[in-house]
Structure 1
Amino acid sequence: MSGSSPAEFLKKLATSTALCSVAAMGLAAPAMAEDAITAPITVTATGSGITAYEYPGMVTVIDKDEIDLKQASTPDDILRDVPGVMFTGGPRRTGEVPSLRGFSGPDVVILIDGVRQNFSSGHDGRFFIDPSVVNSAEVLRGPSSSLYGSGGMGGVIEFRTIDPLKALAAGETQTSFGLGGQTANREYHATATAMSRPLDGLGIVGSLTKRESGSIELGSGSELESDDDILSGFLKGSYDAGGGHKFTASFLRFDNDAIEPNNGQANGNDYADKNLVSDTYRLGYDFNPASAWVDLKSIAYYQSFKADELRLDNNGVGPAGELLKRDVDTYGFRVDNRSRFSLTEDIFTTLTIGAEGYHDEQEGAAGGGVRGGVPDAEDSFIGGFAQAEINWARPFGFLPGDLYVVPGLRYDRFESESSQAGVDNQDSAWSPRIGGSYMPVEWLNLFGSYSEAFRAPTMDELYSTGVHFTFAPGDLGPGTAGHTNRFTPNPNLKAQKTDTFEFGAGVTFDDVLEENDRLEIKASRYYTDGENFIDLQVNQPAPYAACSPFVPGACDGTTTSVNIADAELDGVEAEAHYENDRIRVKVGFSNVDGKNKATGEKLGVLTPAMGTLDAAIKLPETHSIIGWHVIAADEFDKVNSVADERDGYVVHGVYFAWTASEGPLSGLRLDLGIDNIFDKAYARAYASSYETGRNFKGGIRYTVNW
C-alpha cells in the first residue's frame, strides 16, 4: 500500500467529478422534465423538521433509494460516504463500531425510531439491525446533549423504519420478495415484506430477512474467519384515530448466530459460537390537533440485548465449553411537545419542551461465575430539555434576509451502582447549546454554534473486574511463565464534558445548468475542548525490559478507565451535492485530529484526511441508473505508536439498478454492483486487519401493489 497526500486525492476526486459530469451532460435530455430536486429534511437535528442545509451544523440524511442502491449488508455500507464518520473494528459485522468526529462507543448516541441502543462493549459492536428494515438514516455530527443527553458528544446516528400510513394510499396493499448476495463473504439473503393500509387510518407492515455469510476475502488475498447466520424480523402497526391522535406499536428482532474469535475485532484463534439477540419493543403516541400550541410526540420502549458466547477451544482466557453471558436490558421513555407562535410579524418561533428517562440493567457471567469486564450493574438517567427555533425575517429591521437561531438547554441526573462494587456513582449535568444560521440572500448560509456536552461513565468503565487477557506459558518465549492482565474498577470516574465551537458556510442554487436542477455545498470547522475524558488504559509491563517473563506473575498488568484532565479535538467537514434529471454527484471531505493537552499524545478515534465521491447517471428511458463511488484516504500518522500507522488508499466501486415500470415485468427490480473493484489491499485506522477485497453484489426484488 502506498500513501497519498491530501492534495493528490482531492485532485483525483475533483477530476473524477468533472469527467463524470461531462459524460452525463453529453446524453440526450429526457423527453419530459421531472419535478425540481428538493432539499432533504432532517428531523433528528431539531426534532421538528428543517432542511439539512438550513440547520446550523452538519447533518446528512440518507433515504431508502440510496440505501437500496448501495445493496447494504451492514450499517457500515449505509453510512460509508458520510463525512466525519469512520467505522473501526475491522470488516466483521459483529465488530463494527462507528466514530463521529473522533468520538466512538458510548460517546455516540444510536437510535432506532427514537429508541436508545445503549449496549456498548469493547469488542462486540454497536449495531444490531439489518439494513433491510431501514427506511432512512440520519447522521447528526457534533455535540447533541442539549436534546439527547449523555453520549451526544460526537453526534447522533438514527435509523427509521417504514410507516405504512405514509407509504401506502388508503385501501392499498403491497407485497415484495427479494433475493441477493455478494461474493466476498459468500453471502446470500432473502427478504419478504407485506404491507397494507386496509382502512384510511390503519397501516400494518411485517418483514422477515434471512442472511447467511462465511469467511471474508480481504484485499490482501487472505481470509478472515467469520460465519454469520442472521434472522431479522420486523412488525409495525400504525393507527390514526382522528382528531390528531395517532398510535404506533412495533417489534424488531435481530438474531445472529456467529462463529468467530471471541474478540470479533481481532485476528485471534480463540473461537466462540456466539448467539447475539436484540429485541426492541416500542409504543408511540402522537397528538397533533388543529392547534398551533400542541404537537405532542411520545414513546415508551423496552430494549433487550443478549450475547451468549460458547468457547470452542482452549486458546482463550477460559476453557472449551465455557459459556460467556452478557445481558443488557433498557427501559425508557421520551415525550416532547412543539408549540408554534409568532412573537412579532417578522419573528416566528417553535418552542420544544420535553423529558426523557431510561434505565439500564446489565448481568454478566462466565461458566456460572463472574465474567471479566462485564459487571452486574445498573444505571438510571432522567432529564428535561427545552429548545426554541426562532425564524426572524429582516433581522433588526434593517438586515437583509433571514436569521434562524436555535437556543437549547437540557438538565440530566444520572446514577450507576453495582452489587459487586458496593459504591454508587452519581452526578448531574447542564447541557446548553446555541446555534444560528444567517441567510442574507437565498443562496448563502453563514452558520455557527456553541455547545456543551457530557457523557456519563458506563457500567463497564466504573465496575469491571476479572481477567482481561492472559499470556500462557511459552507465549513470551521459550521457558517463560504465564502472566495475566486484570481489570481494575474505578467507581470514582467523573463524567467527561466538552465545549465545542463550530462555524461554517453553505451555498445552494437552483436552475444552475438546466431547469429544475440543484447545487448545494456546505462546510464547517469545529474546535472541541474536553475535560475528564474517559480513557481505557492498558498497563502491561514490557517483558525483559520492565519485568522477567520467567517469574510467574512478574509481568502481570492491569486495565482500568481513567479521566484525562484536558483534551482537544478539531476538524473540518465538507459536503457537495449536484443533481438534475440526468446526473447526481455527491462529494464529501473530513479530517479529525486530537490530543491530550498535558502530554501532547494523540487522543480520540482520529481519522486521516478522507474524501468520498458518488457519481451517477440516470437513464429514465430505461428506468435505470448507473453509478461509481470512490473512497480516498491520506496516510494515517496521528498515532502514539508506529504500529498504528496506516498507508493511504483509494477504493473504487460501481453500481447499477433497473426497474420495470410497465408490462408483465412491472414491479421487478434488478441491482448489480462491485465494491473495491480493483481488489485494493487497505486497512482503516484502528483496525487489526485489512478490509474486504473485490466484492461482486447482486439482488432481485419483485413488488406487487393492489
Structure 2
Amino acid sequence: MVRNNRQLRVGIRRTALAIAIGNSVFNPVLAAQLSELDEVLVQSSRDSSTAAQSKRATAVITRQQLDEQQPDSVAEALKYQPNIEIGGGPRASNQQPVIRGLSGARVLQISDGARQNFNAGHRGTYQIDPELLEQIDVTKGPAGSMWGSGAIGGVVAQTTRDARDMLKPEQRLGGYAKQGFSSAADQTKTSGAVYGRLNEQVDVLINGYYSDQNNIRLGNGDDLMYSSERDSGGMVKLGWQLDDNQRLTLSHRRSESSGAVPSNPAANVVDNSSVIDRESTDSNSILEYAFNPSSALINVDVSLFHNRTQIDEFQMVKGEQDSTDYRTVGLNLVNRSTLDWGMLTYGVDGFEDKSQGERSGPNRPIPADGRTQVMGGFLQADLPLADAWTLTPGLRYDHFKTEANNISDSQRSDDEWSKSLALSWQANDWLELIARYDEAFRAPTSEELYTTGTHFMVGPFSNSFVPNPDLKPEKAQNKELIARAQFVDLLANDDSLTLNASLFENRVTDFIETQVIMDFANRVFESRYQNVQNAKLRGGELAVNYRLQDLDLGLSYGRTLGKDANTGRALEGIPADKWVASVGYWLWDRQLKLGTQLTHADSVSADNAQYDDYTLLDVGGHWYGLEGIELGLTVDNLTDQYYQRAFSELYEAGRNVKVNALYRF
C-alpha cells in the first residue's frame, strides 16, 4: 500500500474533525447514563474495570451478540469493531484479529487469564470456538505494563462460559441443545451443554460442539478449493464456592480440527503439491482461585495453567509426515487493593514455552527444539488528584531467557521494563478525556531464533535457514487521546447516546521479519529472521451509538496508516479504512430482534496490487418467542459480493445464510 504524507495528514484530520464535531454539538447539561455494555468487566484490563471505567480503548462482545451474529471464529466476532479486521483469509481455523495494523504474535491472546502462545509457521493460533465463550473483549494498542511480552498491538481476552452465568436464580439443573446450518460451505454444527448445582457450593458445566463443512463458496460462484474441514471440541468446568469470599474453579478444554489445506492456508493453491492433510489438537487446563474478603486490601486471583497444541501433517504428493508439539505452563497472581488515596493493581506472572517438531524428507525446514521462560512483576496505581482528575501510572519488569536444545551456545537472556501513564479528566457529567502513553515489547519466538534446515529450492540450489539468536525484542511506544461522551434525554424522553473516539500514534521498532539473502558472488543464499524495520502507525476510531426504547443505531469509523519510519514508505498489511453502520429493532414486546450492518471498506493501493473498495450488507433476526426456544437467522454478504480484503491473497465467502435453533431446559 502506497500513501503519501499528504494523505496521512488528511486521514488524521478527518478523524480529529469527526471527534471535534461529535463533542461540540451536544447539550452539556445532559447527564451520563451507563448502558448494560458499559457495566461489563473488561478481562483484558486486569484491574477489574468495566468498559465505562477503563482508561484504555476497548471493545466488548457479549454472549447475546455472539448468538445473534453466529461467528465461526473469534476474529469474525470482532469484524464490526473499528480498527479491527479479519486476517488470514476465509478459512475460519486460520483467521486472526488485526488490531490497528498488527496481528499474529504481536497481539496477545488470553483465555480465562491464561496465555495462548502457540505460534508456528502457517498454522492457526486461535483454537477456541465461539460456542464455548461467554465474552470476548479487546484492549486496543500496547498493554505491556500489565501483560508483558506480546501485547504490542493489543490484547484479545476470551472468557469461557460458566454454569453460574447460565443457571436461573432458583434453577439447579439446566442445559441446551443447538443445531445450526451455514449455506456458504454447507456447514452443519451441533452443540449443547448440561450445567447445574450439585449442592449449594459446587456447580458444573459440560459444553461441546461438532461441525462439518464443505468447500467455501465465493461471491463469483466458485469454490475455494481445500477449505472443507471438521471441527469438534468441548469443555468441562467445575466450580467450588468454598465460602462467601473464596471460589475455586477447575476447567479443561479440548478442540480438534482436521482437513486438507494448503501448507499456507492464506495463500492461493497453484497445484496440489502444497496440499497437506492437517490434524490439530489443542487442550487447555486451568486451576483458578479467587479470594475477595470484606477487606479493601484484598481482591486476589491466582491461576495455574497448562496448554498443549499438537499438529500432525501429511503431505499428500510427497508422502512426508510432519509433527509439531507446543506446550505452555504458567502462573498468574493479581491483587487489587483499595486505599484511602487510590487503588493499586499488582502481581506477578510467568510462563514457559516448549516447542519441538519433526520433519521427514530432505530439503525441509527443521523446527526449533527450544524453550523460552518469562517471569514478570507489575504495579498500576489509580490516583485521584482532584474531584475530576485521575492519574494512572503503571510499571512492569520482565526477565526472559531462551535456548535451543539442538543448537550449541544458543542460550540468551534479557530484561525489559514497560511503562504506562494515563491522565483522565472528567470534564463534566457527560464528557471524559484521557491522555495516555504505553510501552510494550515482544520477545523473539523459538521459531524466529532457532529455525534451521532448507527454506526452499531453486533448481539444484537450496536456500537454508540460519539461526539468529541475537534478535532484539520488538518494542512499541504508543501515545493516545481518548474521548468519551454519554447523554440521556437528548432527542426524546429516555433515549441515550454514547460516543467513543481515539487518536493514536504507535511507534514499533525492530520489527522481526524473514529475510532472504542472495549474494551469489560470495556463495551466500540463505534465510534468517532479522530486525529489519521501524514502523510508525497512526490513526483513530470513532463510534457513536444511539438508543431509543426498542431502537438501536450505531455508526463507527476506523483508520490506521503505517509507514516505515526509516524510509518513509507505506507499510503493507495495513487494513483498509472501514465504516460500519448498524440498526437493531425489537418487536412483539421484545420477543423478536431484527438487525442489519452495512460495512464499507475503502480501496487500497500497493506497490504490486490494487485492492478495490467493497460494501457488505449483513441482516438477521433472533426470536425469543417461546419459553426455552430461540431461533436465529443471519445472512452475511446478502448481495453476494465477490470481494477481497486488503493484502489478502484470497477472496472471501459469498452470500452465507446461517440458521440455528436452540432449545433450553
* TM-score higher than 0.5: yes
| Alpha-carbon distance change, 622 to 528 in structure 1, aligned in 2, over 3 angstroms | closer
| Alpha-carbon distance change, 522 to 687 in structure 1, aligned in 2, over 3 angstroms | same
Q: Following the alignment from structure 2 to structure 1, what is the Cα–Cα distance between the partners of residues 109 and 189?
A: 25
Q: Following the alignment from structure 1 to structure 2, what is the Cα–Cα distance between the partners of residues 84 and 299?
A: 31
| Alpha-carbon distance change, 468 to 98 in structure 1, aligned in 2, over 3 angstroms | farther
Tell me whether 1:524 sits opposite 2:502 in the alignment: yes
- List per-residue Cα deviations over 1:499-546 (Å, max 9, x = no partner): 1111131211123344443211111111122322222224579xxxx9
SS of 2:604's partner is coil
2:412 corresponds to which of 425, 431, 442: 425
SS of 2:64's partner is helix
1:65-76 matches, cutoff 5 A: 65-76=64-75
2:536 corresponds to which of 559, 562, 568: 568
1:284 corresponds to which of 288, 311, 314: 288
1:196-207 matches, cutoff 5 A: 196-207=196-207
Is the CA contact (8 Å cut-off) linking 1:534 and 1:563 kept in structure 2? yes
Give 1:368 shift: 8.1
- List per-residue Cα deviations over 1:240-276 (Å, max 9, x = no partner): 1115111000011110011111221112222211110
2:394 paired residue number: 408
Q: Following the alignment from structure 2 to structure 1, what is the Cα–Cα distance between the partners of residues 262 and 664?
A: 39
1:380 corresponds to which of 363, 373, 376: 373
1:217-616 matches, cutoff 5 A: 217-225=217-225, 226-268=227-269, 269=272, 270-313=274-317, 319-320=318-319, 322-343=320-341, 349-367=342-360, 372=365, 374-394=367-387, 402-422=388-408, 423-471=410-458, 481-539=459-517, 557-564=525-532, 566-603=534-571, 605-616=573-584
Is the CA contact (8 Å cut-off) linking 1:170 and 1:200 kept in structure 2? no
Tell me whether 1:690 sits opposite 2:624 in the alignment: no
Question: What amino acid is the match of 2:125?
Answer: R
Give 1:370 shift: 9.5
2:23 paired residue number: none
Is the CA contact (8 Å cut-off) linking 2:517 and 2:526 kept in structure 1? yes
SS of 1:146's partner is helix
Of the structure 1 ranges 108-117 and 434-443, higher mean CA displacement relative to structure 2 is found in 434-443
1:623 paired residue number: 591
Q: CA-atom RMSD, angstroms?
A: 2.4
| Alpha-carbon distance change, 580 to 470 in structure 1, aligned in 2, over 3 angstroms | farther
Tell me whether 1:670 sits opposite 2:631 in the alignment: yes
Q: Following the alignment from structure 2 to structure 1, what is the Cα–Cα distance between the partners of residues 366 and 537?
A: 28
TM-score by length of 2: 0.90
Is the CA contact (8 Å cut-off) linking 1:409 and 1:432 kept in structure 2? yes
SS of 1:413's partner is strand
Q: Following the alignment from structure 2 to structure 1, what is the Cα–Cα distance between the partners of residues 505 and 624?
A: 46
Of all paired residues, the percent bearing the same amino acid is: 29
- List per-residue Cα deviations over 1:160-206 (Å, max 9, x = no partner): 01222343235522110000010111100000111102333321111
Question: What amino acid is the match of 2:333?
Answer: V
| Alpha-carbon distance change, 650 to 36 in structure 1, aligned in 2, over 3 angstroms | closer
Is the CA contact (8 Å cut-off) linking 1:170 and 1:199 kept in structure 2? no
Q: Following the alignment from structure 1 to structure 2, what is the Cα–Cα distance between the partners of residues 279 and 482?
A: 42
Is the CA contact (8 Å cut-off) linking 1:532 and 1:563 kept in structure 2? yes
Is the CA contact (8 Å cut-off) linking 1:42 and 1:52 kept in structure 2? yes
Q: Following the alignment from structure 1 to structure 2, what is the Cα–Cα distance between the partners of residues 47 and 580?
A: 33
Q: Following the alignment from structure 2 to structure 1, what is the Cα–Cα distance between the partners of residues 555 and 246?
A: 41
Of the structure 1 ranges 524-533 and 409-418, higher mean CA displacement relative to structure 2 is found in 524-533
2:24 paired residue number: none
SS of 2:67's partner is helix
SS of 2:449's partner is helix
Of the structure 1 ranges 681-690 and 323-332, higher mean CA displacement relative to structure 2 is found in 681-690
- List per-residue Cα deviations over 1:283-333 (Å, max 9, x = no partner): 0001111111111101000000001111111xxxxx22x111111000001
Question: What amino acid is the match of 1:43?
Answer: V
Is the CA contact (8 Å cut-off) linking 1:140 and 1:157 kept in structure 2? yes
SS of 1:621's partner is coil
Q: Following the alignment from structure 1 to structure 2, what is the Cα–Cα distance between the partners of residues 37 and 307?
A: 41
Question: What amino acid is the match of 1:60?
Answer: A
SS of 1:660's partner is strand
1:397 paired residue number: none
Question: What amino acid is the match of 2:527?
Answer: T
Give 1:109 shift: 0.4
SS of 2:43's partner is coil
| Alpha-carbon distance change, 587 to 427 in structure 1, aligned in 2, over 3 angstroms | same
Of the structure 1 ranges 594-603 and 107-116, higher mean CA displacement relative to structure 2 is found in 594-603
- List per-residue Cα deviations over 1:117-141 (Å, max 9, x = no partner): 1011331122101111011010110
| Alpha-carbon distance change, 206 to 263 in structure 1, aligned in 2, over 3 angstroms | same
Q: Following the alignment from structure 1 to structure 2, what is the Cα–Cα distance between the partners of residues 657 and 61?
A: 20
Is the CA contact (8 Å cut-off) linking 1:165 and 1:201 kept in structure 2? no
Give 1:621 shift: 2.4
Is the CA contact (8 Å cut-off) linking 2:85 and 2:98 kept in structure 1? yes
In structure 2, list runs of 5 or more residues that go unmatched: 1-6, 19-33
Matched residue count: 632
Question: What amino acid is the match of 1:164?
Answer: A
Give 1:392 shift: 4.8
Q: Following the alignment from structure 2 to structure 1, what is the Cα–Cα distance between the partners of residues 363 and 435?
A: 49
Give 1:620 shift: 4.1
Q: Following the alignment from structure 1 to structure 2, what is the Cα–Cα distance between the partners of residues 517 and 575?
A: 17
Question: What amino acid is the match of 2:531?
Answer: N
| Alpha-carbon distance change, 235 to 45 in structure 1, aligned in 2, over 3 angstroms | closer
SS of 1:606's partner is coil
Question: What amino acid is the match of 1:532?
Answer: D
Question: What amino acid is the match of 1:650?
Answer: T
| Alpha-carbon distance change, 483 to 90 in structure 1, aligned in 2, over 3 angstroms | farther
Q: Following the alignment from structure 1 to structure 2, what is the Cα–Cα distance between the partners of residues 126 and 515?
A: 47
2:191 paired residue number: 191
Of the structure 1 ranges 221-230 and 164-173, higher mean CA displacement relative to structure 2 is found in 164-173
Q: Following the alignment from structure 1 to structure 2, what is the Cα–Cα distance between the partners of residues 293 and 511?
A: 39
Is the CA contact (8 Å cut-off) linking 1:564 and 1:596 kept in structure 2? no
Of the structure 1 ranges 176-185 and 524-533, higher mean CA displacement relative to structure 2 is found in 524-533
1:658 paired residue number: 623
